Amino acid sequence: MSDTTVPTVGYYKVRGLAQPIRLLLAYKGVNFTDKYYDNPGINTMDTFKQTWYKEKFTLGLAFPNLPYYMDESVKLTYSIAIMRHLARKHGLVATDETGLVRQDVLDQQLVDIRNGFFGLLINKEFATEKVTYIAKTLDQQLDSLSRFLGTRQWFTGNHINYVDFWAYEMLDWFKFLNPETVNKYQNLVQLLTRFESLPAIKTYMKSPEFISWPLFGSHVQWGFKK
């Protein structure tokens, strides 16, 4: 990892919190290295962690955590901080106050949705709670996102923004979870299709570097084993 001219994304070999980072870099045509902290066949979080703990405090990170991002100028942790940095660096932030307001509000809304969903994933009563979550929580959240998007191409307007990468990833999780609910919202479905049709994204998704599954690590009740 001495060569930092090629950025490195450190995470597990799952989608999780690192996937929007990978997608953004791929979209901008940035050659980067995926550094995985798990090995083929690992199926417990304790074993996942062992590989990370060997390096955790040796990388010069202010707040050692996964995912991390390193290039020749920065060493960052926390997925949202990384995405915001890359968005500024690569021109994927809103450029007017209206867009900035939409960007910031959606950023936080997606955090709330993600945190609630992660709470479901670690619930030992997942099979039962999933039904309630889809009917009461997910449907309302997707309805709100659909109304917020409206007829726009992207969530902040006519230009793709870093929050669209987060939104895409989470909507794709929900498509795996319950496609029928996602399919009720045609503008969200169209956004997914629009995103996947971007030439750089389409190429990346066909490459061996792209991770389709697992979505999350082995500690969850759903999203690791098929």
Q: What is the pLDDT of residue 2?
A: 43
Q: List pLDDT tens digits, range 8-31.
A: 999 999 999 999 999 999 999 999
Q: List pLDDT tens digits, range 84-95.
A: 999 999 999 999
How far apart, in whole angstroms, are the C-alpha atoms of residue 5 and residue 80?
Answer: 22
Q: Do domains 8-91 and 97-198 have the same CATH topology?
A: yes
Give, for 11, the enclosing helix (H) or strand (E).
strand 8-11
Q: State the architecture of 8-91 in CATH terms.
A: Up-down Bundle (1.20)
Strand partners, 77: 68
Per domain, the residue ranges of the chain are 8-91, 97-198
CATH number 3.40.1440.10 is the correct assignment for the domain at 97-198: no
Q: What is the pLDDT of residue 38?
A: 79
Q: List pLDDT tens digits, range 101-142.
A: 999 999 999 999 999 999 999 999 999 999 999 999 999 999
Q: List pLDDT tens digits, range 202-213.
A: 999 999 999 999
Angle at 32 between CA 30 and CA 34, to 5 degrees: 145
Q: What is the pLDDT of residue 5?
A: 82
Q: List pLDDT tens digits, range 35-84.
A: 998 765 555 666 666 778 889 999 999 999 999 999 999 999 999 999 99
Q: What is the pLDDT of residue 47?
A: 65
